[in-house]
Amino acid sequence: MSIVEGSGTKSSLRAAISAIGLAGVGLIAVVVAFGDVIARVPAGAVKVGPPSLPPQVVYAFGTDALGRDVMSETVHALTVTFSSAVLATIIAIVVGAIAGFAAVRAPLRLGIALRGIMGVFGSVPVLLLAVVAVGIAGHEFAPIAAGLAASPSIFNRSFDRAMRLARSRHAEYARATGIPASTLLRRDLVYEVRGNFLNVAGRALASTTIALATLGFLGFGATPPHADLGLMIAAARATYLDQWWPALFPALALILLILFARLAAALDEGEPP
């Protein structure tokens, strides 16, 4: 197999993986959009059925110790987690990817200074940054905190990619031939969006979902009755061994959301090519 054929096969595989991830994220978005229809009862409704029933025909995911329908609670919690993660992802893309791309076009010293500052924040774990931000701003700002916490690493990757592009031979040739800087900026932005947007968005969605679910599990995220998947898993920890279903199904929903987000990014880790 030639190098060209190998590269084509790899690209096709990555495209297929990304398509599977996008389809999965789209399916979750449909479930969230029709959550009130899919869920049998409102969020937090107790004594819907006998308490602590295992999964069966009537209650597909069983009931918890308070008689809540676990399937309905999982759908509502998935809605909270997914909606918050999407908001956090948008923040991470704007503050991270777009700002990193724009910083290369700023005066050199300012751009390098911003890269250094973001490099320091990027060395701190996302979860730790999110916990600190929530501690300062409050639980209701958890999505914003998760988005800002995920931004430094995205900023750094975007800045480094844009810097390599700005210093490439074809960019130097374009400037030497008198092509306006605004034209180069539009061209580079098109390349950035077309080549990296799905990867950046998928990684950001996975990262912010993990941060939000962990914040919820630790008690720093959503508060009842608007419980997220992390809080739902934490609430069932006293019965993990003898009543596994109240924790298993929200955990599976969380795993699928993170998995599909990573697949949408074609399992890309963001390393330089």
Residues 118-140: tens digit of each pLDDT: 999 999 999 999 999 998 888 88
Residue at token pair 């999964």: 55
pLDDT of residue 131: 92
pLDDT of residue 1: 44
> Rounded to an integer, what is the distance from CA 212 to the centroid of its chain?
9
Per the CB < 8 A criterion, the answer to whether 196 and 269 are in contact is: no
pLDDT of residue 106: 79
Q: For residue 47, what is the DSSP state?
A: -
Instruction: Tell me the CA distances in angstroms from 117 to 200, 205, 225, one per residue in order.
Output: 20, 23, 38
pLDDT of residue 14: 83
**pTM, entire model:** 0.86
pLDDT of residue 215: 93
pLDDT of residue 187: 67
pLDDT of residue 272: 39
pLDDT of residue 238: 84
pLDDT of residue 268: 65
The type of residue at 212 is: L
Environment class of residue 108 by beta-carbon count within 10 Å: exposed (0-12), middle (13-18) or buried (19+)? exposed
| Omega prior to 225 cis, within 30 of 0 | yes
Using only the alpha carbons of the chain, give its radius of gyration.
22
pLDDT of residue 71: 95
Q: What parts of the chain have a pLDDT lower than 50?
A: 1-4, 270-273
Dist. CA 230–CA 17, nearest whole Å: 27
**Tokens representing 96?**
């991270």
pLDDT of residue 3: 47
Per the CB < 8 A criterion, the answer to whether 101 and 192 are in contact is: yes
Give the angle subtended at the CA of 196 by the CAs of 191 and 200, to the nearest 5°. 145
pLDDT of residue 135: 87
